[in-house]
Structure 1
Amino acid sequence: MKVLVIGGTGNISRGIVAALQHRNHEVVLFNRGQHRDPPPSDVRIIHGDRQQRDDFEAKVGAEEWDAVIDMISFNAEDAASALRACQGRVGHFVHCSTVMTYGPPFSGINLPETAPLQGESGYGLGKVAADNLLLESHARDGFPVTIFKPSYTHGPGMNLLRQVGGDGSWIDRLRKGKPILSAGDGLNYFQFLSSRDAGFAFTDILGRSNCFGEIYNIVHPQARTWDEWHRAAAEALGVDIEIVHVSQETLIAMAPERFSGLRGNFGHTQIFSHEKLAAALPEFSPQVPVTESVAENIAWMDKHNLIPDSDADDLEDQVIEAVRNLPRIR
């Protein structure tokens, strides 16, 4: 198949490109050519900025595509432009949405694709608008769209994240034997999927007409706690870990500029059902061990000097010391 990936150099995208090449598809990318990591040398690049609508639509619309995977559509305007470029010229169009369309606030756990769309962030609302426009085009005109909703997908191309946010200096803290913070009791659940595994789901759905007009959560079927995730990072580094638990609201009260983001994402248990995708794509089963995928992610951060010196910012140490020195009832 001749497959266009709009984007193609980010975290999930590089897993998709690798999987497409593994399946012997012809891969073409559309992007600005500005990513720090060049794509594989045997991949054709169409350079452009999708925000330059006329240029984007002319370049993408100049060819016929067996499939298009859109990784950088964030609102209805982006989706409408993709429709104008691809309508009548694509066999299958896959749009990357997000589980942030469901919340927070989330309506429950193990959420299926029919769950209420309660996301309040600009990111989530923009994806809802893009999803709706594409689904309306399918219902009205038969546009062959499938929508994937990833949760946290990790790998080379972005920093390895932890629950309380911040930059990559938490990896330096682990290497130096410093304790790290965790919000609450560390038992909030999340689903952590390797971008290598995600790439095969995006690839292997292509051409399946029974998936047109459908939405699929693309998540790891095994939920992990944040403490388990942090321990996986320590295992990948070959170090011990000390986790200091502090309530989310206490963290936000002590340093709102650092920790307020917890309310908008990682401070919530997030589990989404994978059953619909498993039924449509029974061969999809994540294979990459978590310590291996985490180690790959950290190696990429090291390569690009994205792990700052944790000694340069002592806020975490101050929070940990303050909590440890709180008076206790004996």
Structure 2
Amino acid sequence: MRVLILGGTGVISRCIADQLLDAGHQPVLFNRGSRKQLFSREMEWIIGDKTKPESFRQLMAGQRFDAVIDMISFNAADAAQTVETFRDKTGQLIFCSSTAAYKRPFRTIPVREDEEALCDSDAFPYAYHKAEMERYLQKVIAEGTVPITIIRPSLTFGEGGVNLGVLRQNRNIVHRIQQGKPLVMFGDGTLPWSFSFAPDVARAFVGAAGNERTFGKAYHATSEELHVWDDLYLEIGRLIGHEPKLVHFSTKQLMSGKPDLFAHLYYEKSYAGLFDNSKIKQDIPGFEARMTLSEGLRMMLDWYERDNLAIDEEKNLLEDRLAETYGRWCGELKELLSN
């Protein structure tokens, strides 16, 4: 199959491209062409900018794909542009949504796709716009004019990603553990979660491509290995041979102080991240999230070392200040309670 990936160089999409090649398919990557060095094998590229609709349509004129995987639509307008551009140019459109698009609190645990409502509040814009995208796509599915598949990853880590850690501090986590510095954890760290990794999630997209059983349906594609949030840091500490020191803040406190950094914790990750994969396993035989938390974090640590990732000094300072504030609070609370 000739499969177009809109994006193609992101955390999940680069794994999709590699897995398509491994399966004997022909991936075609559409993006600005600035990250070709990410691939060691030859790929077909179409260089352009999807935010420029007219030039995008011209680039795709005369093209034909067995499937189009859209990793860069974040709202209904983005998705509509993809649908209108490729309606007569492909046998299937696959959209990357997110489990963030669900309305909280959940109705089911583990979450089952067809028993949940979509987010209807714009308090967390990312989630709301993904939900609006899905509402638009459901209308297109009802029209029956083009086969559409929707895949909803949960929190996914992978090489190139900038989202690992409560402060999304990545390499800083290793640095702080090695230096004996405290790490900030939200809540009490015992919220259940299944941490997913990009190579596993990519298999869902590859398995859906050209698969008629997935037409008109939406699926989770997540790990089902049960952990709690503290485990994320505790396992990194185990892998590098140093026990981490954790300090815990309420999610509301963090979000109210710096919503641009912590809103995702308050609106999305204050609820258990457990998702049922029964539906995707039924329609994509052999799909399974195989990577354990330990294996996935080892992959991330190897990437940090290989690419010599720098410390984010601004976040490092913020975490220092949060830890100092926590220490003062604990001291004041102990004094108050002892009187």
Change (3 A) 1:196 1:258: closer
* Residue aligning to 1:134: 137
Give how far 1:108 is off: 4.8
- Does 2:285 match 1:305? no
Report the Cα distance in structure 1 between the residues aligned to 2:107 and 2:137, rounded to whole angstroms: 24
State the TM-score, normalized to the length of structure 1.
0.90
Which amino acid in structure 2 is aligned with residue 200 of structure 1?
R
Aligned pairs for 1:238-257 within 5 A: 238-251=241-254
Change (3 A) 1:268 1:213: same
Change (3 A) 1:84 1:304: farther
Report the Cα distance in structure 1 between the residues aligned to 2:167 and 2:120, rounded to whole angstroms: 20
Query: What are the superposed Cα offsets for residues 67-123 of structure 1, whole Å, 9 maximum, x if unpaired?
Result: 111000111211111112211221221100111110345445322112011253222
Report the Cα distance in structure 2 between the residues aligned to 1:103 and 1:191, rounded to whole angstroms: 19
Change (3 A) 1:167 1:212: same
* Residue aligning to 1:27: 27
* Residue aligning to 2:95: 95
Give how far 1:41 is off: 4.0
Give how far 1:316 is off: 2.9
* Residue aligning to 1:323: 329
Report the Cα distance in structure 1 between the residues aligned to 2:258 and 2:30, rounded to whole angstroms: 41
Give how far 1:142 is off: 3.4
Which amino acid in structure 1 is aligned with residue 239 of structure 2?
A
164-173 vs 192-201, which moves further: 164-173
26-35 vs 131-140, which moves further: 131-140
Aligned to 2:185, the other structure's residue is in SS state strand
Give how far 1:140 is off: 1.1
Larger RCO (CA under 8 A, 6+ residues apart): 1
Q: Is the 8 A contact 1:9 1:157 kept in 2?
A: no
Change (3 A) 1:261 1:116: closer
Report the Cα distance in structure 2 between the residues aligned to 1:36 and 1:230, rounded to whole angstroms: 32
Report the Cα distance in structure 2 between the residues aligned to 1:39 and 1:68, rounded to whole angstroms: 20
Match of 2:185 among 182, 185, 207: 182
Aligned to 2:329, the other structure's residue is in SS state helix
Give how far 1:284 is off: 1.0
Which amino acid in structure 2 is aligned with residue 118 of structure 1?
C
Which amino acid in structure 2 is aligned with residue 236 of structure 1?
L
Match of 2:270 among 267, 284, 293: 267
Q: Is the 8 A contact 1:163 1:267 kept in 2?
A: no
* Residue aligning to 1:68: 68
Report the Cα distance in structure 1 between the residues aligned to 2:224 and 2:317, rounded to whole angstroms: 38
* Residue aligning to 1:158: 161
Q: Is the 8 A contact 1:251 1:259 kept in 2?
A: yes
Query: What are the superposed Cα offsets for residues 4-53 of structure 1, whole Å, 9 maximum, x if unpaired?
Result: 10000011111111211111211110001234853344011101110111
Which amino acid in structure 2 is aligned with residue 327 of structure 1?
L
Q: Is the 8 A contact 2:149 2:217 kept in 1?
A: yes
Q: Is the 8 A contact 1:159 1:167 kept in 2?
A: yes
* Residue aligning to 2:227: 224
112-121 vs 243-252, which moves further: 243-252
State the TM-score, normalized to the length of structure 2.
0.88
54-63 vs 294-303, which moves further: 294-303
Q: Is the 8 A contact 2:225 2:292 kept in 1?
A: no
Q: Is the 8 A contact 1:164 1:262 kept in 2?
A: no
Give how far 1:263 is off: 1.2
Question: How many equivalent residue pairs?
Answer: 330
* Residue aligning to 1:80: 80
* Residue aligning to 2:44: 44
* Residue aligning to 2:4: 4
Report the Cα distance in structure 2 between the residues aligned to 1:105 and 1:270, rounded to whole angstroms: 11
Give how far 1:252 is off: 5.3
Aligned pairs for 1:113-128 within 5 A: 113-114=113-114, 115-118=116-119, 120=121, 121-128=124-131
Give ranges in structure 2 of 5+ residues lacking alignment: none
Change (3 A) 1:23 1:257: closer
- Percent of aligned positions with the same letter in both sequences? 28
Give ranges in structure 1 of 5+ residues lacking alignment: none
Q: Is the 8 A contact 1:236 1:292 kept in 2?
A: no
269-278 vs 4-13, which moves further: 269-278
Give how far 1:260 is off: 5.2
Change (3 A) 1:159 1:136: same
247-256 vs 263-272, which moves further: 247-256
